[in-house]
């Protein structure tokens, strides 16, 4: 269930803010974050749209590290053909995203499978991703504490194969009780090294990265 709130002027009278409010659920409490999308015009008040995300989609083409994909996500982007509602003419405008609220479990969806109207291709790119991930303060809201911006990798879903339309998926997951990584590949489960997790081989690419904030204790998340 969702409700679109009426746009309001922020207390500083600097922008108009609209927000979609979702019903509180356990799924949203664990996986839900918020993106703040701000459109700035050369004239007029800026507009801000706050929206929920459960997975963060990141472009991986022409980047080498996760940090670069996050920086690309929040880079200021020039908008073409945007009009001023007051002047009714095209004006210069820019859009910028910021990570407004970070979730307990951060799921990064790496767009190695590139879907286009004329077909789907796979991007095979050696992308570096860390076990310990810090979301830099300049990428997130000022309300995020340093502790709230630190994450630890606990699972990876990979796609293997040189084609986007076919291939094989398997998962690596960190087993906390024995402090080791396990690879789940169909009916096979075996222990692997951290290096094997972080350095995929051949056509193997990370498709989903699961990061947790805080620690797991007694089946609940301490944050």
Give pLDDT tens digits for 120-143. Answer: 888 888 889 999 999 988 888 777
Domain spanning 2-222, CATH class: alpha beta
Cα–Cα dist 141/152, whole Å: 20
Shortest CA distance to 44 belongs to which of 15, 23, 21, 1?
15
Cα–Cα dist 65/214, whole Å: 23
149-204, pLDDT tens digit by residue? 899 999 999 999 988 888 899 999 999 998 999 999 999 999 999 999 999 888 89
Provide the 3-class DSSP secondary structure of residue 4.
strand
Mean pLDDT of 86-91: 72
**Beta-carbon count within 10 A of 109 CB:** 16
- More confident position, 29 or 125: 29
Rg (CA), the chain: 20
Cα–Cα dist 137/127, whole Å: 22
Q: How far is CA 177 from CA 181, 210, 216, 220, in A?
A: 11, 18, 10, 15
Across the chain, the runs of DSSP E, i.e. the strands, are 2-4, 8-9, 15-22, 33-41, 46-53, 56-58, 77-79, 93-101, 105-110, 113-116, 119-122, 132-134, 150-160, 168-175, 180-185, 188-192, 205-212, 215-217, 220-222
Give the tokens for residue 162.
Answer: 């040189």
To which H or E segment does residue 93 belong? strand 93-101
Mean pLDDT of the chain: 82
The percent of residues in the chain predicted with pLDDT above 70, rounded, is: 86
**Beta-carbon count within 10 A of 128 CB:** 12
Alpha helices in 22-110 (DSSP H): 26-31, 66-74
Shortest CA distance to 99 belongs to which of 220, 213, 215?
213
Q: What is the pTM of this model?
A: 0.81
Where exactly are the structural domains of the chain? 2-222
DSSP 174-204: EETTTTEEEEEETTEEEEE-HHHHHS--TT-
Give the tokens for residue 140.
Answer: 């997130």
Shortest CA distance to 125 belongs to which of 58, 63, 197?
63
pLDDT at 2: 44
């Amino acid at each position: 269930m969702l409700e679109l709130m009426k746009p309001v002027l922020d207390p500083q009278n600097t922008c108009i803010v609209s927000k979609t409010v979702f019903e509180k659920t356990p799924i949203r409490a664990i996986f839900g974050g918020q993106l703040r999308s701000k459109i700035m015009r050369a004239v007029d008040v800026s507009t801000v749209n706050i929206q929920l995300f459960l997975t963060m989609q990141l472009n991986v083409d022409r980047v080498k590290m996760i940090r670069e994909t996050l920086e690309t996500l929040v880079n200021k982007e020039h908008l073409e053909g945007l009009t001023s509602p007051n002047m009714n003419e095209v004006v210069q405008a820019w859009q910028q995203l910021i990570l407004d609220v970070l979730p307990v479990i951060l799921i990064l969806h790496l767009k190695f499978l590139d879907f286009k109207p004329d077909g789907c291709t796979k991007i095979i790119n050696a992308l570096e991703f860390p076990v310990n991930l810090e979301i830099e303060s300049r990428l997130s809201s000022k309300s995020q504490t340093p502790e709230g911006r630190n994450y630890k990798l606990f699972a990876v879903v990979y796609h293997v194969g040189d084609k986007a339309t076919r291939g094989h998926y398997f998962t690596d997951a960190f087993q906390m009780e024995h402090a080791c990584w396990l690879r789940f590949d169909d009916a096979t489960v075996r222990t692997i090294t951290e290096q094997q997790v972080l350095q995929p081989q051949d056509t193997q690419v990370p498709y989903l990265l699961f990061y947790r904030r805080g620690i797991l204790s007694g089946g609940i998340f301490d944050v």
